[in-house]
């Protein structure tokens, strides 16, 4: 099991860098920065992280193929790889439809778009001049003018996936998968679909991904840890509220959550009643959509996820009621797994 951190750059970039440096010092092996137009820009943030750290891998987690042209993404992540001495990772997924609607961007055929984008990205990232005539992506004799690999060579590509078809595609074309999930049931159903994709790759149906034996299944979790379990759970409430409000009926049914409870949470969010969320986000929602509690509770859930085939835990928002203290507490867990000095 390896441990990573996910941070939203909604704070000053140098503050984000201090969190990532603290994570590095506490044994985290990778850090992911989200890509949303309303926060600090992804690649400028990643560049600062490259210069503030020396060992931890740095990732775009996740970008999408709609707001950025594939060549721009390739240039950005290859620049990060060069700056970091070969520590870059790329996470790419279909993106958030609500965001695209707000920006007037049409999200068409996401499965095909991801497949074609990754094909083209690997061409750019291996120094090729690319000509590609896909249904969604078209490139005519384009390439990067610098050596893409930097000091570290190949950049692993992780697919952000939730639905069955995207999970299977991730197994087929990715070096790993990033799944927004914190509960074992999310992975019990997902892992067989990923394995189906990996089997197709082994059968020769797709080229370009790394070795199947090295494929990473990463739980991109809502994580909140504190010595006081109630404080940890309280800190998770706003994030859990947003997850619950957007959950489809099938996911709610799997976790024993009613659609009416989901709709009530969505109503509070729409009305801006954030301080009242604690009264309507249920314990069952926190259990389903987060890893939240003290050290022992978090370790118990991590062990359950490992048993389901998860190879990486990514501690995402909110991390805890105090990010710095929470990062250190996760560091204690990492040391218990023998993953840190």
Domains of the chain: 2-227+294-336 (3.20.20.30)
Q: Which residue has the tokens 């069955």?
A: 164
What is the rounded CA–CA span in Å between residue 57 and residue 72? 21
Please state, for a pLDDT cut of 90, what percent of the chain lies above it.
Answer: 87
For the segment 66-70, the average pLDDT, to the nearest whole number, is: 96
Helix axis angle for 13-25 and 323-336, nearest 10°, is 20
Over 50: is that where the pLDDT of 163 sits?
Answer: yes
With 0-12 / 13-18 / 19 or more C-beta atoms within 10 angstroms meaning exposed / middle / buried, residue 106 is exposed
Torsions phi, psi for 179 (to 5 deg): -115, 120
Over 60: is that where the pLDDT of 243 sits?
Answer: yes
Q: What is the pLDDT of residue 208?
A: 63
The band of 79, judged by pLDDT with boundaries at 50, 70 and 90, is very high
What is the rounded CA–CA span in Å between residue 221 and residue 326? 14
Q: Which residue has the tokens 């976790």?
A: 255
Q: What is the pLDDT of residue 204?
A: 62
Helix axis angle for 164-173 and 110-125, nearest 10°, is 20
Return the DSSP state at 21: H
Q: What is the pLDDT of residue 147?
A: 75
| 287-304 pLDDT per residue, tens | 999 999 999 999 999 999
With 0-12 / 13-18 / 19 or more C-beta atoms within 10 angstroms meaning exposed / middle / buried, residue 266 is middle
Structure tokens at 222: 């809502």
Return the DSSP state at 155: P
The band of 99, judged by pLDDT with boundaries at 50, 70 and 90, is confident
Helix axis angle for 70-84 and 110-125, nearest 10°, is 50
Q: What is the pLDDT of residue 341?
A: 46
Over 60: is that where the pLDDT of 152 sits?
Answer: no
What is the rounded CA–CA span in Å between residue 112 and residue 117? 8
Whole-number Cα distances in Å, 137 to 108, 134, 157, 174: 12, 5, 18, 18
For strands 291-293 and 216-225, give the pairing. Answer: parallel
Question: What is the gyration radius of the CA atoms in the chain, in angstroms?
Answer: 19
Over 70: is that where the pLDDT of 320 sits?
Answer: yes
Over 70: is that where the pLDDT of 250 sits?
Answer: yes
What is the rounded CA–CA span in Å between residue 6 and residue 93? 15
- Omega of the bond prior to 325 within 30 degrees of 0, cis? no
Element (H, E) at 316: strand 312-319
| pTM summary value | 0.93
Helices (H), the chain: 13-25, 42-52, 70-84, 97-103, 110-125, 164-173, 184-202, 229-245, 249-255, 259-271, 283-289, 295-307, 323-336
Torsions phi, psi for 158 (to 5 deg): -105, 140
Q: What is the pLDDT of residue 201?
A: 82
Nearest C-alpha neighbor of 97 from the set 86, 105, 89: 105
What is the rounded CA–CA span in Å between residue 334 and residue 109? 39
**Residue 137 half-sphere exposure toward CB, CA atoms < 13 A:** 24
Residue 259 burial (CB count, 10 A): 12
Structure tokens at 290: 């987060």
Over 80: is that where the pLDDT of 340 sits?
Answer: no
Task: Name 71's Cβ contacts closer than 8 Å, sequence gap at least 6.
Answer: 124, 139, 142
Torsions phi, psi for 59 (to 5 deg): -130, 150
Over 50: is that where the pLDDT of 78 sits?
Answer: yes
């Amino acid at each position: 099991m390896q441990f990573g951190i996910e941070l939203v750059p909604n704070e000053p970039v140098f503050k984000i860098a201090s969190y990532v440096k603290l994570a590095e010092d506490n044994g985290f092996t990778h850090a992911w920065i989200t890509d949303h137009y309303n926060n600090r820009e992804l690649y400028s943030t990643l560049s600062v992280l490259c210069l503030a750290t020396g060992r931890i891998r740095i990732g775009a987690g996740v970008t999408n193929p709609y707001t950025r042209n594939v060549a721009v993404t390739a240039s950005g992540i290859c620049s990060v790889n060069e700056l970091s001495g070969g520590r870059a990772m790329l996470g790419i997924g279909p993106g958030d439809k609500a965001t695209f609607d707000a920006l007037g961007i049409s999200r068409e055929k996401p499965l095909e778009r991801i497949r074609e984008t990754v094909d083209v990205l690997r061409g750019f990232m291996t120094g090729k001049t690319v000509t590609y005539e896909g249904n969604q992506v078209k490139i005519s004799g384009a390439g990067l003018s610098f050596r893409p690999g930097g000091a570290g060579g190949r950049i692993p590509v992780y697919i952000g996936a939730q639905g069955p078809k995207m999970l299977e595609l991730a197994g087929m074309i990715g070096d790993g998968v990033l799944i927004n999930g914190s509960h074992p049931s999310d992975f019990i159903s997902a892992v067989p679909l990923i394995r189906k994709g990996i089997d197709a790759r082994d059968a020769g149906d797709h080229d370009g991904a790394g070795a199947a034996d090295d494929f990473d299944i990463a739980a991109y979790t809502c994580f909140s840890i504190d010595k006081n379990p109630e404080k940890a759970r309280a800190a998770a409430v706003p994030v859990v509220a947003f997850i619950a409000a957007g959950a489809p009926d099938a996911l709610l049914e799997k976790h024993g959550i009613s659609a009416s409870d989901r709709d009530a949470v969505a109503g509070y969010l729409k009305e801006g009643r954030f301080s009242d969320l604690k009264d309507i986000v249920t314990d069952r929602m926190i259990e389903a959509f987060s890893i939240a509690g003290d050290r022992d509770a978090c370790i118990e859930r991590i062990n359950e996820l490992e048993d389901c085939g998860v190879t990486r835990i990514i501690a995402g928002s909110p991390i805890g009621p105090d990010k710095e203290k929470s990062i250190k507490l996760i560091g204690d867990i990492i040391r218990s797994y023998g993953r840190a000095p």
